[in-house]
């Protein structure tokens, strides 16, 4: 049952469960994220990390439990409605429109003209163009505006997708393995990017790269078999014997 | 339904039911082939009906040859024809996969169009070789006639034979896909192509044989088809839409679903045909199917999976 | 002015392409061809409406409909029903056992006009029905399918099945529909003889005008943000959905628009050819429309018009002299286009035209300007 309590948290997940033919991929999960917080979820393969993101953004429907974002229940909304409430989500593999230019990728993501007729009569105004330029600069692609997205490097594609979310100014930004396949330098740049964009919003990141997690995380949650194993600051979590067991025990 | 007594109605349902069994058998055999190809490889074979026609023409050819050269062999040739229909249609499927399909695996809609092109070429080939008129093989004596179950109900022998054949083929497919090591490799390829390749499964070979197997079973459907109707160049197109509906309705990947859906579609059509005209029976059946699929697009027997 | 230039004509290359096409169909064909042949071209051009609808739906939207014949047929039958009722006035049908109803109804022992025929005695209603009913039908199909995320091959098959249902229904209910022969013997439109040469010429030009209008309207859609969203949906549907768009609405809209365009072609077909029959509704005509689009280039509004003309000239020529070869050729074309020329004629043109134009220019001693001479209009640009 969706809970009726309101909280001061930006995102509050309570008693969330989803099962697939009896298998519980996420089991009675409770998770709270503050505004201005950059929260990282880690855990071994199959722990249910991506499923949690799927549940928040509506890609998967929960079996029971509640997901509240700014005290609005999300579990009953459809995907595009959740996005319009201010939730942005980046997929594990870069998901951009390969046949469109960088500019067009950002323009298509611009949060106006989202209806059929709105998009037919959408105007590329000065306001739109300057917003696109601003975001392109932030994601270090301002020199590639006319490049077809398919021609970008893997790291640049990851940034472009982050940019496509930022242009919508989401209050909750969810990133699934944002530095996978990136060079060391690109990782550093991405860490800086994430630190700068976490101001004024909540950011939820799934990541495997512990060094990277250490650099960005305000708080860490360790998931194991759909349940929370440990949560807290990175250095606390790293000392937790249960976490060591799961990560190093086998 | 006024004017019929209950006894008569019962007999009508039973008779139409038995005539529906022949249709069920052909549909199921066609659908098994199509479902193997579609369910396991994601490829829609629009030429599937023409592979059935290949089987039917093979049977016709065997019948003509036997009649002219070995008349004494006439009672037995039909069994041989079934095997040959499987081999010929399968071999042609193998060739089609090699020349055409394997280049198009990542583009399902294009595969659909290319196999449509193939079906046009095959239809014209039938017309050029066998003529535009419909042909029928001379069926052996033992396939003709009917078995009188009660004084009101006659069961046609050819229907029983085709049903038996269908059961044997279905069991064979079940064994091949779910019990043999070959089937294991096919299913592994379906679930994770890259991984299967990495563990040493020759996925290209698997694809080719799967496609050939599907077409071969369509060939058997063609041989069975000759016992209930005559074969023309466009025979295949008449059955392809119904077969698609069987596969989609049954949930594509489920063998049980395919059987149940072939049975319900064939029976619905056959029983309806007695009360309303054949064309309206078809309209009604397809309409109901489309409406059901609009509300349950994954088919009736699909299982819930983690995506 | 720049709105017209950029949004409707599609910039310089788009404007040249449209101009060339207009000159060919409006001036060259009427000058070169006799009345009979011109009427034939007019008939082909009505199929081009359906091919254009597939550029939007399939080329850009990635949704293949194998049932565009449904909408072509609905438009065509709507017009045919009106013309048939006019041709079946009680005076014209005095010899029938029930005068005042279409002849095929009389032959099938029907004694009163069915209710769904009644409104088609009004020309206004008929026009409205042609413009609205097919799109409305598409809307219902679209809502049922796209809202439940049915797409890809499933959508293709379901639309094909609906085309089959409609054809079997028309053929089976011959008392109400004219059956396999269709609705024939159409003579006048509001008292004006549509079989006369002058009428045929006029219809040809109206047809061309509507076709160009449809191209302009489609250009407007494709150059808007909607057009880029269509491409985005085709490539990464989930990304569009998780960018806050209700993807189904976009697919429904373009499916309805495609239905509207096809129906317009169907109505013009009836006017120019003088009859409508189920052989323009079912599986085969529907998939032929797909091949028109594929041969012309599924991403090119202008290319598909040439593709439609080429295939139909070929069909007419071959089925007159070598009927056996035609199906081989048609089947081979399907395979070749899919395997080797996925962008069809338009793709070939944008690949080779710069060289050809350069050669022509140097042959005639003209200077070669360093312009991007790619594709005058055959290839629609994405921006």
> For residue B307, which residues of chain A lie inside 8 Å, CB to CB?
60
| Alpha helices (H) along chain C | 2-3, 11-23, 29-32, 35-54, 68-87, 103-107, 123-146, 152-172, 174-177, 197-223, 225-235, 237-241, 247-273, 283-296, 303-321, 323-340, 344-363
In a domain, B267, yes or no: no
- Whether residues C236 and A111 touch (CB distance < 8 A) is answered with no
Query: What is the reported pLDDT for C366?
Result: 63
Query: What is the reported pLDDT for B198?
Result: 80
Residue C33 CA to residue C200 CA, distance in Å, equals: 13
> For residue C221, which residues of chain A lie inside 8 Å, CB to CB?
120
> For residue B282, which residues of chain C lie inside 8 Å, CB to CB?
168
Q: How far is CA B108 from CA A28, B162, B246, B305, C293, in A?
A: 40, 33, 19, 22, 17
Residue B220 CA to residue B90 CA, distance in Å, equals: 10
Report the half-sphere exposure of A30 (CA within 13 A, side-chain side). Answer: 5
Interface size between B and C, measured as CB pairs under 8 A: 110
E strands, B41-107, are none
Interface size between A and B, measured as CB pairs under 8 A: 10
* Chain A residue nearest residue B305, CA to CA: A20
Domain that holds residue B234: 14-240
Residues of C with CB under 8 A from a CB of A: 220-221, 224-226, 228-229, 231-232, 235-236, 238-247, 249-250, 253, 382-383
Interface of B with C in 116-145 (CB under 8 A): 116-121, 123-124, 127-128
Q: How far is CA C33 from CA B58, B185, C27, C38, C40, in A?
A: 49, 62, 10, 6, 10
Residue A207 CA to residue A23 CA, distance in Å, equals: 24
Backbone phi, psi, residue A175, to 5°: -125, 125
pLDDT in tens, A11-47: 999 999 998 877 888 888 999 999 889 999 988 888 8
A125 touches chain C (CB under 8 A): no
In a domain, B285, yes or no: no
DSSP β-ladder status, A172-176 and A87-90: parallel
The number of beta carbons lying within 10 Å of the beta carbon of residue C91 is 8
In a domain, B256, yes or no: no
Please spell the DSSP secondary structure of C302-365, one letter per residue: THHHHHHHHHHHHHHHHHHH-HHHHHHHHHHHHHHHHHH-TTHHHHHHHHHHHHHHHHHHHHTT
Please spell the DSSP secondary structure of B111-167, one letter per residue: HHHHHHHHHHHHHHHHHHHH-SS-B-----GGGSSEEESSSS-EEEHHHHHHHHHHH
Residue C101 CA to residue C86 CA, distance in Å, equals: 10
Instruction: Calculate how close chain A gets to B288, using CA atoms only, in Å.
Output: 29
> For residue A53, which residues of chain C lie inside 8 Å, CB to CB?
none
Query: What is the reported pLDDT for B253?
Result: 66
C157 touches chain B (CB under 8 A): yes
Query: What is the reported pLDDT for A248?
Result: 59
Sheet with A38-42: list strands edge to edge: A87-90, A172-176, A202-206, A38-42, A219-224, A227-232
Most confident of B196-200, C155-159, C189-193, C306-310: C306-310
Contact B44, B115 (CB under 8 A): yes
Backbone phi, psi, residue B291, to 5°: -65, -45
The alpha carbons of chain A give a radius of gyration, in whole angstroms, of 18
Here the ipTM equals 0.90
Contact B119, C164 (CB under 8 A): no
- Whether residues C327 and B116 touch (CB distance < 8 A) is answered with no
The arrangement of secondary structure in A11-95+171-248, i.e. its CATH architecture, is 3-Layer(aba) Sandwich (3.40)
CA dihedral (B99, B105, B106, B109) in degrees, to 10, reads 90
| Alpha helices (H) along B179-231 | 181-191, 193-198, 203-225
| Interface test with chain C among B132, B294, B299, by most C beta carbons within 10 Å | B294
- Whether residues B113 and C160 touch (CB distance < 8 A) is answered with no
| Interface test with chain B among C66, C68, C154, by most B beta carbons within 10 Å | C154
* Chain B residue nearest residue C336, CA to CA: B114
DSSP β-ladder status, A172-176 and A38-42: unpaired
- Whether residues A25 and B305 touch (CB distance < 8 A) is answered with no
Residue of A16, A14, A25, A21 whose CA lies nearest to A64: A16
Contact A221, A41 (CB under 8 A): yes
Three-class secondary structure of residue A227 per DSSP: strand
Cross-strand bridge partners of residue A69 = A11, A72
In a domain, B189, yes or no: yes
Higher pLDDT, C382 or A71: A71
- Whether residues C232 and A100 touch (CB distance < 8 A) is answered with yes
Residue C92: pLDDT band (50, 70, 90) is confident
pLDDT for residue C382 is more than 60: no
The number of beta carbons lying within 10 Å of the beta carbon of residue B130 is 17
The CA-based angle C325-C326-C330, given to 5 degrees, is 120
B290 touches chain C (CB under 8 A): yes
> For residue C241, which residues of chain A lie inside 8 Å, CB to CB?
79-80, 83
Q: Digits of tens for pLDDT over chain B (307 positions)?
A: 456 777 777 777 776 667 778 889 999 999 999 988 887 777 889 999 999 999 999 999 999 999 888 888 888 888 899 999 999 999 999 999 999 998 888 888 899 899 999 999 999 999 999 998 999 888 887 877 777 767 666 777 888 888 899 999 999 988 888 888 888 888 888 777 778 878 878 888 888 999 999 999 999 999 999 988 899 998 888 888 889 888 888 876 677 888 888 988 888 888 888 788 778 888 988 898 888 887 777 766 554 443 3
Higher pLDDT, B240 or C362: B240
Question: How many helices, marked H, and strands, marked E, lie in chain A?
Answer: 10, 10
* Chain A residue nearest residue C252, CA to CA: A116
| Contact residues for C383 (Cβ-Cβ < 8 A; gap 6+) | A101, A104, C223
B130 is written with which tokens? 């066998």
B298 touches chain C (CB under 8 A): no
HEC letters along C136-149: HHHHHHHHHHHCCC
A97 touches chain C (CB under 8 A): yes
Residue C373: pLDDT band (50, 70, 90) is very low
Three-class secondary structure of residue C101 per DSSP: coil
For residues C46-58, give the mean pLDDT: 97
> For residue A51, which residues of chain B lie inside 8 Å, CB to CB?
306
pLDDT for residue C381 is more than 60: no
Residue A45 CA to residue A28 CA, distance in Å, equals: 19
| Alpha helices (H) along A58-183 | 79-84, 102-109, 116-120, 126-138, 154-166
B100 is written with which tokens? 């055409």
Cross-strand bridge partners of residue C297 = none
φ/ψ region of B272 (left if φ > 0, alpha if ψ in -120 to 50, else beta) reads alpha
Query: What is the reported pLDDT for B292?
Result: 83
- Residue among B123, B280, B290 whose CB faces C161 most closely: B290
Higher pLDDT, C377 or A194: A194
Residue of A3, A70, A72, A60 whose CA lies nearest to A26: A60
A21 touches chain B (CB under 8 A): yes
A117 touches chain B (CB under 8 A): no
- Residue among B103, B116, B286 whose CB faces C164 most closely: B286
Please, which chains are in contact with A (at least 3 CB pairs closer than 8 A)? B, C
Q: How far is CA B251 from CA A213, B107, C203, in A?
A: 43, 21, 48
Three-class secondary structure of residue C382 per DSSP: coil
**Euclidean distance between the first and the last CA atom of chain C, given in angstroms as a whole number:** 18
C152 is written with which tokens? 């890809």
pLDDT for residue C273 is more than 90: yes
Question: Whose structure tokens read 């029930």?
Answer: C98
- Whether residues B248 and C154 touch (CB distance < 8 A) is answered with yes
Residue of B38, B64, B67, B65 whose CA lies nearest to B243: B38
Contact A38, A198 (CB under 8 A): yes
Residue of C232, C245, C203 whose CA lies nearest to C46: C203
> For residue A168, which residues of chain C lie inside 8 Å, CB to CB?
243-244
Instruction: Calculate how close chain B gets to A21, using CA atoms only, in Å.
Output: 7
| Interface test with chain B among C335, C336, C340, C343, by most B beta carbons within 10 Å | C335
Cross-strand bridge partners of residue A46 = none
| Contact residues for B193 (Cβ-Cβ < 8 A; gap 6+) | B203
In a domain, B252, yes or no: no
Please, which chains are in contact with B (at least 3 CB pairs closer than 8 A)? A, C
- Residue among A59, A100, A116 whose CB faces C249 most closely: A116
Question: Whose structure tokens read 């009428």?
Answer: C199
In a domain, B279, yes or no: no
| Interface test with chain C among A59, A98, A108, by most C beta carbons within 10 Å | A108
Residue B220 CA to residue B214 CA, distance in Å, equals: 10
| Interface test with chain B among C161, C166, C281, by most B beta carbons within 10 Å | C161
Query: What is the reported pLDDT for C168?
Result: 93
- Whether residues B117 and C335 touch (CB distance < 8 A) is answered with yes
- Residue among C160, C334, C342 whose CB faces B120 most closely: C334
| Contact residues for C76 (Cβ-Cβ < 8 A; gap 6+) | C263, C266, C267, C269, C270, C276, C280
For residues C270-284, give the mean pLDDT: 93
Interface of B with A in 287-306 (CB under 8 A): 303-306
- Residue among C220, C221, C245 whose CB faces A80 most closely: C245
- Which residues of chain A, if any, have pLDDT below 70? 1-6, 248-250
Across chain C, mean pLDDT equals: 89
The alpha carbons of chain C give a radius of gyration, in whole angstroms, of 22
Global confidence as pTM: 0.90
Report the half-sphere exposure of B219 (CA within 13 A, side-chain side). Answer: 25
- Residue among B303, B304, B306 whose CB faces A25 most closely: B306
The CA-based angle A42-A46-A47, given to 5 degrees, is 45
| Contact residues for B181 (Cβ-Cβ < 8 A; gap 6+) | none
Residue B281 CA to residue B270 CA, distance in Å, equals: 8
Q: How far is CA C147 from CA A170, B294, C7, C150, in A?
A: 26, 10, 30, 8
Instruction: Calculate how close chain A gets to B301, using CA atoms only, in Å.
Output: 14
């Amino acid at each position: 049952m969706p809970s009726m309590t309101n909280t001061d948290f930006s995102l509050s997940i309570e008693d969330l469960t989803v099962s697939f033919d009896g298998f519980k991929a996420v089991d009675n999960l409770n998770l709270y994220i503050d505004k201005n917080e950059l929260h990282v979820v880690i855990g071994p393969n199959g722990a249910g990390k991506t499923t949690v993101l799927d549940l928040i953004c509506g890609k998967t429907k929960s079996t029971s439990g509640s997901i509240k974002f700014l005290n609005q229940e999300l579990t009953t909304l459809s995907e595009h409605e959740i996005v319009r409430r201010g939730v942005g989500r980046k997929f594990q593999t870069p998901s951009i429109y390969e046949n469109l230019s960088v500019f067009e990728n950002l323009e298509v993501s611009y949060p106006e003209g989202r209806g059929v007729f709105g998009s037919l009569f959408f105007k590329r105004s000065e306001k739109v163009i300057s917003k696109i330029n601003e975001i392109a600069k932030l994601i270090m692609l301002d020199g590639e505006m006319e490049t077809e997205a398919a021609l970008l490097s893997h790291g640049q594609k990851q940034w472009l997708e982050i940019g496509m979310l930022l242009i919508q100014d989401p209050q909750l930004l969810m990133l699934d393995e944002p530095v996978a396949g990136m060079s060391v330098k690109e990782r550093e740049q991405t860490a800086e990017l994430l630190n700068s964009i976490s101001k004024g919003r909540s950011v939820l990141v799934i990541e495997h790269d512990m060094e990277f997690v250490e650099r960005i995380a305000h708080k860490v949650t360790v998931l194991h078999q759909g349940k929370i194993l440990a949560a807290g600051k990175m250095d606390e979590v790293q000392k937790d014997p249960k976490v060591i067991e799961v990560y190093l025990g086998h | 339904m006024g004017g019929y007594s209950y006894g008569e109605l019962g007999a009508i349902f039973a008779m139409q039911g038995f005539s529906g069994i022949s249709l069920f058998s052909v549909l199921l055999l066609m659908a098994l082939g199509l479902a193997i190809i579609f369910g396991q490889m994601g490829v829609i074979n629009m030429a599937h009906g023409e592979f059935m026609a290949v089987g039917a023409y093979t049977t016709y050819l065997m019948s003509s040859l036997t009649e002219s050269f070995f008349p004494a062999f006439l009672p037995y040739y039909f069994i041989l024809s079934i095997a040959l229909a499987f081999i010929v249609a399968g071999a042609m499927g193998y060739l089609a996969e090699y020349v055409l399909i394997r280049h198009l695996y990542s583009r399902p809609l294009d595969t659909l169009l290319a196999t449509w092109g193939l079906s046009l070429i095959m239809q014209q080939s039938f017309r050029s070789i066998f003529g535009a008129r419909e042909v029928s093989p001379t069926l052996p004596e033992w396939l003709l006639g009917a078995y009188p179950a009660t004084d009101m109900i006659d069961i046609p022998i050819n229907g029983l034979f085709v049903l038996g054949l269908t059961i044997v083929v279905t069991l064979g497919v079940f064994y091949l896909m779910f019990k043999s090591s070959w089937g294991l490799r096919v299913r592994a390829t379906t679930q994770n192509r890259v991984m299967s390749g990495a563990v040493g499964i020759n996925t290209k070979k698997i694809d080719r044989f799967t496609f050939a197997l599907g077409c071969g079973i369509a060939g058997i459907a063609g041989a069975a088809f000759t016992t209930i109707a005559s074969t023309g160049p466009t025979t295949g197109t008449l059955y392809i839409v119904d077969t698609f509906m069987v596969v989609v309705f049954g949930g594509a990947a489920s063998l049980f679903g395919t059987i149940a859906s072939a049975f319900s579609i064939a029976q619905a059509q056959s029983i309806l045909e007695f009360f309303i005209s054949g064309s309206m029976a078809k309209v009604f059946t397809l309409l109901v199917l489309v409406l059901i699929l609009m509300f349950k697009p994954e088919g009736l027997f699909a299982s819930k999976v983690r995506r | 002015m720049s709105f017209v230039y950029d949004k409707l004509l599609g910039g310089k290359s788009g404007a040249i392409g449209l101009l060339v096409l207009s000159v060919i169909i409006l001036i060259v064909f009427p000058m070169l061809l006799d009345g009979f042949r011109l009427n034939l071209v007019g008939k082909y051009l009505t199929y081009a409406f359906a091919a254009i609808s597939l550029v939007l739906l399939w080329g850009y939207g990635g949704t293949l409909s194998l049932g565009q014949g449904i909408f072509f047929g609905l438009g065509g039958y709507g017009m045919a029903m009106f013309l048939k009722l006019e041709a079946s006035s009680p005076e014209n049908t005095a010899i029938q056992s029930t005068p005042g109803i279409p002849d095929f109804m009389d032959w099938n022992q029907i004694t009163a006009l069915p209710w769904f025929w009644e409104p088609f005695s009004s020309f206004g209603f008929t026009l409205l029905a042609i413009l609205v009913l097919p799109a409305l039908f598409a809307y219902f199909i679209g809502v049922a399918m796209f809202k439940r995320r049915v797409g890809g091959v499933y959508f293709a098959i379901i639309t094909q099945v609906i085309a089959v249902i409609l054809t079997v229904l028309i053929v089976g209910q011959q008392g109400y529909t004219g059956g396999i022969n269709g609705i024939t013997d159409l003579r006048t439109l509001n008292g004006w003889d549509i079989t006369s040469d002058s009428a045929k010429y006029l219809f040809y030009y109206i047809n061309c005008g509507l076709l160009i209008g449809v191209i302009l309207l489609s250009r407007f859609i494709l150059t808007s943000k909607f057009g880029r969203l269509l491409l985005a949906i085709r490539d990464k549907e989930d990304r569009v959905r998780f960018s806050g768009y209700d993807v189904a609405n976009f697919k429904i809209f373009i499916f309805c628009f495609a239905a509207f365009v096809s129906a317009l072609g169907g109505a013009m077909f009836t006017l120019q050819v003088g009859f409508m029959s189920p052989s323009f509704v079912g599986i085969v005509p529907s998939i032929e429309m797909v091949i028109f689009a594929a041969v012309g280039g599924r991403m090119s509004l202008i290319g598909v018009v040439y593709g439609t003309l080429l295939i139909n000239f070929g069909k007419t020529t071959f089925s007159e002299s070598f009927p056996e070869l035609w199906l081989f050729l048609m089947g081979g074309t399907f395979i070749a286009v899919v395997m080797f020329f996925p962008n069809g004629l338009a793709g070939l043109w944008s690949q080779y035209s710069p060289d050809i134009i350069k050669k022509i220019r140097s042959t005639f001693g003209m200077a070669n300007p360093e312009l991007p001479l790619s594709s005058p209009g055959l290839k629609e640009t994405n921006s």
